[in-house]
Chains A and B, each alone.
Chain A
């Protein structure tokens, strides 16, 4: 008896694009959260999501149900992110000084939090987003991928190892390094975020 997802995959392998639409609908938010985590930029994240699903469609014929579909999809996602990042020459982060300049109002749209009624809170949240953004982007591809899969997607070490094609020991050491570096960069803000 095939599961619903296996049935969908079989149909895609037979060329059913409607079945693929259902897969995209089911997974696009999870893929987006990884690509956004990786690029910290909406446009780039969206481009990457499209690329991920096009690649998935192209290679789904070779999927043999040996591993779970989402681990396989995450592997494609991480590879696409790394590939796109290598192709793009400049890192897309906003400088902290940019969001501090209130008079000049150089605040990118993505940092504006419309839900927050308190301007002080709003400013602090924008600041926290910008510094977190910058800190994540300062990590190497591999460290960034590990921290996103663990902290945002909540994958176990075993799942991360499968998605990244490395050992659990490598996952642990990359995660430890990434956390140490982020905690160092964000130590000033770790307490402030608790207050919000």
Chain B
């Protein structure tokens, strides 16, 4: 009897929610004719349901639809606007990127010429020491060597 009570008690919620098979339903209904505890349990489930439906809900006011639609329409306009603007935004971005690449390719760069390019001298060795520094250059493809002695005073170089 005790086992049947606990088995049926487990089915009561599903019975109330109409989620039992026909066989289970008949079993529960048969049990309910004799068991006061299960009847009370079912009544309590039903009572809660009534309480939630009566006091946990609220009918929308008359003007709710207009209020809702007003807000929804604004949201839709933004969505549609963003959708319409998207291809143009993408197109503008693509044009900008292409222009940037073209500018990079064809910009007439003027770089400062290196000393080697100006004079044909190639630095072979450079030693900074006190009191004089030494710098050795090659010129004319290595056929001429230039040795430059210089003094360093207060950070300035002075050739001798």
Give the residues in chain A near B45, CB-CB below 8 Å.
Answer: 179, 183
Q: Does more than half of chain A's interface fall in helix, strand or loop, or is it mixed?
A: helix
Stretch at the interface among A52-60, A63-71, A74-82: A52-60
A152 to B48, CA, bound (A): 12
Contact residue among B52, B60, B64, B79 (Cβ-Cβ distance under 8 Å from A152): B52
| Closest-CB distance, A12 to chain B (whole angstroms) | 10
Are B44 and A190 touching (Cβ within 8 A)?
A: yes
Cβ contacts under 8 Å, A58 to chain B? 79
Contact with B along A144-155 (1 / 0, CB 8 A): 000110111000
CB-CB < 8 A to A21: which residues of B?
A: 69
Q: Considering the complex, which residues of chain A in the window 35-63 have a beta carbon less than 8 Å from any beta carbon of chain B?
A: 36-37, 40, 42, 45-47, 49-50, 53-54, 57-58
A77 to chain B, nearest CB (A): 13
Q: A36-B58, A58-B79 are in contact. Are A136 and B19 (CB under 8 A)?
A: no
Q: State which of B31-39, B70-78, B87-95 sits at the interface with chain A.
A: B70-78
Q: Are B60 and A133 in contact (CB under 8 A)?
A: no
Task: For A53, give its contact among B52, B53, B60, B68 (CB under 8 Å).
Answer: B68
- In the assembled complex, how far is the CB of residue A29 from the closest CB belonging to chain B, in whole angstroms? 6
Contact in complex: B52, A17 (CB < 8 Å) = no
Q: Which chain A positions have C-beta within 8 A of B13?
A: 172, 175-176, 179
Min distance, Cβ B71 to any Cβ of chain A, angstroms: 4
Spell out A's residues near B (CB within 8 Å): 15, 17, 20-21, 24-25, 28-29, 32-33, 36-37, 40, 42, 45-47, 49-50, 53-54, 57-58, 110, 125, 128-129, 132-133, 136, 147-148, 150-152, 156-157, 172, 175-176, 179, 182-183, 186, 189-191, 193-194
Since A33-B60, A175-B13 are in contact, a sample of 18 more A-B pairs with Cβ atoms closer than 8 Å, ordered by chain A residue number, is: A17-B76, A20-B76, A24-B65, A29-B59, A33-B57, A36-B58, A37-B52, A40-B56, A47-B71, A49-B64, A50-B72, A132-B56, A133-B56, A152-B57, A156-B18, A176-B13, A190-B47, A191-B47
